[in-house]
Structure 1
Amino acid sequence: MIQAIGLTSDSRKGLPPAVDDVSFEARAGHVTALLGVSGAGKTAALRLMLELQRGRGVTYFRGRPLHRIAHPSREVGVLLGDVPGHPARTVRGHLRMLCAAAGVPVRRADEVLEVVGLVSLREERLGTLSRGMDRRLGLACAMLADPHTLVLDDPAGGLSTRESRWLYGMLHAHAAQGGTVLLTTADPKEAARTADRVVTLERGRLVADQKVADFSRTRLRPRVAVRTPHASRLAALLAKEARSKQRSVEVVREGGNRLSVYGSTCAAVGETAYRHGILVHQLADEIGDMGPDAAADCADRSDHSTGQRADETTPLMPVSEAVPARVRGREARKPPVLVPAPTSDKGSAAVDDLTALHEEPPTPGGGRPTTPQARVSEPRTADSSTEGQSAASPAADSHASAASVEVLPELPPPISVRPAPSPLRPLRYELRRAGGVGTGFLTAAAVLVVSALTAVLLARVGHTPHPRLMVAWPRELPLPPAALGAGLLGAIAFGDEFRHPALAADRGTVPRRLGLLAAKLLVASATALALAVLTVGCNIEVLYLVYGRELAEVPADWLWLSASWIGLVVGCSWAGVLAAGLFRSTTAGLAAVVAVPILLVPLVQKAVEGPSVRTAAGFPLRLRELLLSQWPFGGERYIAATARVIAQPVGGALALSLAALLAAYLLTTLRSRVR
């Protein structure tokens, strides 16, 4: 159950808040629709509920706010917009990465892929998926950790009728097993067809909170949509026949050659047109919207509902094929009237809207059975007391007598996860994230190639010290290629989280938790260490092949040179991770890495070489004299090498930069937790 209380977004630049004091409930076992036109505040309300946006108010998910839930992804499944993931990642790899983040078994990815029908596309890239497949994958991501609550923002937007029916069938199956479903939509007819309760927003305020039967009765009106070049003549004939038979029929001119007939049926309108020889281009059942923007929406549909002009040549079909079977069964068979064949799932084609309106009671006891459920769809008819509409029309009688048995699709089986958090969970997630795309491997390969070519050119030109030659670091460059590559990989490690967020359910676009930061720093360190070793090894081999053994000899002071080299590469990698996590950008992370030798090193040199500051040249020797006892396994040598690295301008500037970035990151983390 979801309880949203007093949701209010922060206003900006004197504008009214997108959401203003909105309170509602979404009960377990029901599908609740958040209805409103574009800009009504639906998405902002969801982001406030999920604590992705600043504002006031509180939302309880089964009695607890989201920030007090240990594992939010196991309580709330979220789908906001398109599937958040790297376009180069495979479908299966994306789900397996989320399995590691949520702490669920890896086999869960294959289970949900089978349920949503994406087994054959599991090796496809996310960037190549169609809209329908993207929605299926988004639902799979939301249901991956077997959450009790599903929160989806316009899940059926841009889908065909068939895909929409499948999607809403899955949501009703989840609700039938005791779950809670909250979705947003801008279509009142869609809300009436799919939801058990409709919460209507207008300009950020709550205007109605109704059961779907009350919503259909007060907001929707069934009608017959007619398109004919003789609209005026047909309207007069329909009004005349209604007066002669003393029936309450309302005929409304929608503009152009379109009519909306309230209180009648497709069969009755078609018979009238046939008897008087009137050509009909369209004849279909619709549900009209009586909301605040109904007039503008109706005028827009009158021009675009069929996607073609009235004077265009369209394939014709008998009206008996366009009229729903439930109407044809109650009307006498008449000679056919020709109407255009439906060309799209969208628009005003004949639909079984009223029989699809149903109300499903919650599962007794709130249980979660694992077998498919069958539910009987009761009719939800519009109120017969609407102005200009008959209290007893043939269409209403046919809708009232209709009932359909619908078998709900099968859901993934329930899973059991350990309640205690595992310290290896962020590390597994980071390993799958880094290895799921080829960016890191391509970057490392480019670094090795550039470094080897640079070493060969420097050896040919000469005048380059042997240590710099082995790491391909000319004096003209602020950093060697390996350090720049390690910094780029570190920046990508956190920057891609903000470009392609994968942890939206965990309170924020990317959860600022120290466990995730530690995992990223650890993986970045291992990557940088491997890159540093491979770079030196490749450079030595290339120099040996091109110039012989002389340039491939290892220097005598290799210990502190190795410590300096590894510290430089790992430090650049850490700087990229921290800066990208702090500024939420890969570019900012790489800029922070480059700024160390360009900006900070000159400042450190001036500070060290100033007249009022003593030199630190003898710092390693004095440190060794201070530590009188000998360290085991020659540990004092490593300490002295580390101190010698820090005493250098580049090492000191890098250490200062890392300390500042880490302090800023921890400060932002503490501030977000306090709020």
Structure 2
Amino acid sequence: MLQAIGLTSTRHRGLPPAVDDLTFEAGSGSVTALLGPPGSGKTSTLRLMLELEPGRGVTYFRGRPLHRVAHPAREVGVLLGDVPGHPARTVRGQLRMLCAAAGVPASRADEVLDAAGLVGLGDQRIGTLSLGMDRRLALASALLADPHTLILDEPAEGLVAREADWLHGMLRSHADRGGTVLYTTRDPKEAARSAGHVVTIDSGRLLADQEAADFSRTRLRPRVAVRSPHAARLAAIISREARAARRSVEVVTEASSSRLSVYGSSCAEIGDTAFRHGLPVHQLADEVGDTGPASRPRDSGVLGDGLRDNGLLRDCDPLSEGEGEGKGGDGAAAAARPATGIGAVAAASRRAAGGRAPAVESAGAQLPPRIRRRPARGPLRPVRYELRRLFGVRSTTLIVAVTLVASAAVSVVLARNGRAPLPNVLVAWPSLLPLPPAALGAGLLGALSFGDEFRYPALAAGRGTVPRRLGLLLAKLAVSAGVALSLGLLVVLVSAESLRLVYGGDLVQVPSNVMSLAASWSGLTVGCAWAGLLAAGIFRVTAAGVAAVLAVPVLMVPLIEAVPKAPTARSMSGLPGRLRELTWLQWPQEADRWVLALVRVVAHPVGTALTLSLSVLVCAYLFTSLRGRVRW
């Protein structure tokens, strides 16, 4: 069961809250529709329930608030808007990536593809899906972890009748298995047709909490739609004949002067009337009309006597119950109204907490608990998620291919005159370029790691941010480092093979300082990848990551080279031995060469610039992450 108690959104600039003291329930095994016109607070209600917006109130999912659920994806499946996936990613790839985020096996992706009717579209790109298929994918994403509760914001909006019927059939099937379904809609006919329970709100306040049968009886009325060029004359004749026959017939002129809505009559009677008086009729059809929600004063919360006196309460009062339709005075209306306010908060909270009193703030005992907007959770399997995110789009393969081709071409050109050093030829780094193609490619892949995350936030749908959890950061750093090292090795191998193919096999020889060169090359590629990743994570855009990579040779290296250099009085040649004595660790003698190579890399101007840049970026990333958590 889902219980929303006292939901109240935060006021902005003195305006009334979008949601004001809203309390309702959505039972297990049923579909509940949250009905309201545009701007009535439906979406804000869902966001308050999911702790995506600050405010007051509490929402219990089977007796627990969402922030106390260990694995929220296995308790609540959410559909807010469209699928936030990369348009170049396949449907199956998107679901497999989300499987890693939810901590479920990858085989679950094929199961939900079958359930959503997307088996034949598993290899299709998300950007090519129609609206109906996109909505099916969104529902499949919500069902990945097999949650008990489904919360959907206008899932059938814009769908054709066949797709909408399929969607509501899926929701009813989930409810029949014992799940809880809550979805928002603005169409009362859709709510009456597809839901078993209807909660009507307007201006953020509860108007009615009814079963579908009661809602249909009090809100929807049969009518005859008439279109005629003489609509005003026909309306007068129908009203006059109804009064003469002492029949209850209501004629409403629509916004268009040629259209009428007639309540309490039939197509045959209106057609006969128009024929007798020689009036042409262009349309004559039976419809089900929406009488609209009955409004009530915001201060008293009861219907006015004037509404009850003129008979409208009988037809359109959504608060009246079956046997008391318009008869029973204020007592019946009060009995039909759901309880709201602090009394309902206390009672419902005690029911959900097993009789214990709800936890409210001591300074405001008459206010429901405060809802704090909480940061998004990271993926449960971050390394697996990052690997599927990286290799699930064609841009990664394209960047690697372009880097290898450009490196091979530059290497062949550099080796032509024979004046460039062999290490520069193998890594394709001429003096004219600030960085070799491999470093630029690694930096671009690192920048896309967070840049695509913010552009297509699959991890944080509806939150407007990407989780900055330590596990996700470490996974991105590890995966980007592995990709950078692999790219650097491939560049060297491809360049050597290109030189052997073009100039023969005597050109490429293993240099004596291969360890130092390998450490330098590895540090450069990994450092560029991390610089792009951290900068994109800080500034939330891929271009910032690329700019951070280019800033190392263009800005940082000239600054470091401009610093006056003092004469060296001491040497670090014995550093490996002193480290061994300090750490009490025994490592092979070969490791000493790697330590010295690493020291030489850091002491190089490019290495120093890259180290300083990474230090600044790490501090900035931690600062923005901590500031974000304090703000939430």
Give me the TM-score of the superposition, normalised by structure 1.
0.74
Alignment-derived partner of residue 93 in structure 2? 93
Q: SS where residue 608 of structure 2 aligns?
A: helix
One-letter amino acid matched to 1:166: W
Q: SS where residue 33 of structure 2 aligns?
A: strand
Alignment-derived partner of residue 306 in structure 2? none
TM superposition shift of 1:275: 5.0
CA distance in 2, matches of 1:618, 1:508: 53
1:442 aligns with 2:398: yes
Decide whether the 8 Å contact of 1:73 with 1:506 is kept in 2: no
CA distance in 2, matches of 1:15, 1:460: 73
TM superposition shift of 1:646: 1.3
1:158-237 alignment runs, 5 A limit: 158-203=158-203, 205-211=204-210, 212-213=212-213, 215-237=215-237
In structure 2, which of residues 400, 425, 431 is the aligned counterpart of residue 469 of structure 1? 425
Q: SS where residue 157 of structure 1 aligns?
A: coil
Tell which deviates more after alignment, 499-508 or 484-493. Answer: 499-508
TM superposition shift of 1:154: 0.9
Structure 1 residues 241 and 43: alpha-carbon distance in aligned structure 2, compared to 1, 3 A threshold: same
Q: SS where residue 246 of structure 2 aligns?
A: coil
Structure 1 residues 278 and 112: alpha-carbon distance in aligned structure 2, compared to 1, 3 A threshold: farther
TM superposition shift of 1:529: 0.9
Structure 1 residues 232 and 508: alpha-carbon distance in aligned structure 2, compared to 1, 3 A threshold: closer
1:256-275 alignment runs, 5 A limit: 256-274=257-275
Decide whether the 8 Å contact of 1:200 with 1:207 is kept in 2: yes
1:621 aligns with 2:573: yes
Alignment-derived partner of residue 644 in structure 1? 600
CA distance in 1, matches of 2:190, 2:443: 49
Structure 1 residues 647 and 66: alpha-carbon distance in aligned structure 2, compared to 1, 3 A threshold: farther
Structure 1 residues 445 and 244: alpha-carbon distance in aligned structure 2, compared to 1, 3 A threshold: same
Decide whether the 8 Å contact of 1:18 with 1:41 is kept in 2: yes
Alignment-derived partner of residue 311 in structure 1? none
One-letter amino acid matched to 1:108: R
Decide whether the 8 Å contact of 1:73 with 1:505 is kept in 2: no
Q: How many residues align?
A: 551
Decide whether the 8 Å contact of 2:527 with 2:614 is kept in 1: yes
Structure 1 residues 450 and 74: alpha-carbon distance in aligned structure 2, compared to 1, 3 A threshold: same
1:98-145 Cα offsets, whole Å, 9 max, x none, are: 222222233322222222222222222111111111111111111121
Structure 1 residues 274 and 16: alpha-carbon distance in aligned structure 2, compared to 1, 3 A threshold: same
Decide whether the 8 Å contact of 1:213 with 1:381 is kept in 2: no
CA distance in 2, matches of 1:163, 1:45: 26
In structure 1, which of residues 446, 449, 455 is the aligned counterpart of residue 411 of structure 2? 455
Q: SS where residue 283 of structure 1 aligns?
A: strand
Decide whether the 8 Å contact of 1:221 with 1:290 is kept in 2: yes
Q: SS where residue 511 of structure 2 aligns?
A: coil
Q: SS where residue 665 of structure 1 aligns?
A: helix
1:85-484 alignment runs, 5 A limit: 85-203=85-203, 205-211=204-210, 212-213=212-213, 215-254=215-254, 255-274=256-275, 276=277, 278-291=279-292, 425-460=381-416, 464-484=420-440
Tell which deviates more after alignment, 575-584 or 521-530. Answer: 575-584
Q: SS where residue 31 of structure 1 aligns?
A: strand
Alignment-derived partner of residue 30 in structure 1? 30
CA distance in 1, matches of 2:86, 2:45: 26
1:305-329 Cα offsets, whole Å, 9 max, x none, are: xxxxxxxxxxxxxxxxxxxxxxxxx
Structure 1 residues 170 and 383: alpha-carbon distance in aligned structure 2, compared to 1, 3 A threshold: farther
TM superposition shift of 1:266: 3.0
Structure 1 residues 16 and 240: alpha-carbon distance in aligned structure 2, compared to 1, 3 A threshold: closer
CA distance in 1, matches of 2:96, 2:541: 25
TM superposition shift of 1:163: 1.4
**Structure 2 gaps, min length 5:** 296-320, 328-376
Decide whether the 8 Å contact of 2:102 with 2:380 is kept in 1: no
Decide whether the 8 Å contact of 1:51 with 1:508 is kept in 2: no
CA distance in 2, matches of 1:595, 1:17: 46
TM superposition shift of 1:20: 4.9
1:542 aligns with 2:498: yes
CA distance in 2, matches of 1:575, 1:192: 55
Q: SS where residue 133 of structure 1 aligns?
A: helix
The structure 1 segments of at least 4 consecutive aligned residues displaced by more than 6 Å after TM superposition are: 380-386, 421-424, 505-508
Tell which deviates more after alignment, 582-591 or 206-215. Answer: 206-215
1:493-550 Cα offsets, whole Å, 9 max, x none, are: 2222222222236977533322222222222121111100011111122223333445
Alignment-derived partner of residue 79 in structure 1? 79
Q: What RMSD over aligned residues (CA atoms) do the two structures have, in Å?
A: 3.3
CA distance in 2, matches of 1:163, 1:381: 33
CA distance in 1, matches of 2:71, 2:51: 14
Decide whether the 8 Å contact of 2:378 with 2:469 is kept in 1: no
1:468-507 alignment runs, 5 A limit: 468-504=424-460
In structure 1, which of residues 567, 570, 584 is the aligned counterpart of residue 523 of structure 2? 567
Structure 1 residues 133 and 467: alpha-carbon distance in aligned structure 2, compared to 1, 3 A threshold: same
Structure 1 residues 587 and 13: alpha-carbon distance in aligned structure 2, compared to 1, 3 A threshold: farther
1:46 aligns with 2:46: yes
Decide whether the 8 Å contact of 1:197 with 1:209 is kept in 2: no
CA distance in 1, matches of 2:324, 2:517: 85
Decide whether the 8 Å contact of 1:224 with 1:264 is kept in 2: yes
One-letter amino acid matched to 1:262: Y
TM superposition shift of 1:486: 0.7
Q: SS where residue 516 of structure 2 aligns?
A: helix
TM superposition shift of 1:81: 1.0
Decide whether the 8 Å contact of 1:266 with 1:285 is kept in 2: yes
1:56-83 Cα offsets, whole Å, 9 max, x none, are: 5543322333333222111111111111
Structure 1 residues 595 and 6: alpha-carbon distance in aligned structure 2, compared to 1, 3 A threshold: farther
